[in-house]
Amino acid sequence: MSKVVRKTTTTQRANAQTLRSKRYVKVSRGPIFNFYMNKMNYILLGIGLIVIFLGFWFMSFGSWDSFASMDIAPIVLLLGYAVIVPAAILYRKKSVIVEEKTEVVE
């Protein structure tokens, strides 16, 4: 059998040596995307969906020119789509900062 000899340059040997000597440490930085929605966000989102459903329900009342379908339904839908759902998305619980009170006794 013939033996195949592979010639390496000094830079290749140096690179291989440094790769073997380096210790790679995996640094955990936490999740890339923080999902901050909590229970209150989901409650507000549910209320918004119920209000939107009520708006479409009012729209189905009576004829096309009834008071409920022409006046009440658009106001309720606007309240659901433009106020409650964005509030549910943007709401963030305020963090509480607790300060310790120190008293000086004389």
Average pLDDT for 41-67:
93
pLDDT digits (tens, 9 = 90+) for 62-99: 888 899 899 999 999 999 999 999 999 999 887 767 66
pLDDT band at 40 (very low <50, low <70, confident <90, very high): very high
Residue 43: is its pLDDT beyond 70? yes
Q: Which of 21, 28, 72, 23 lies closest to 51, judged by CA?
A: 72
pLDDT at 64: 85
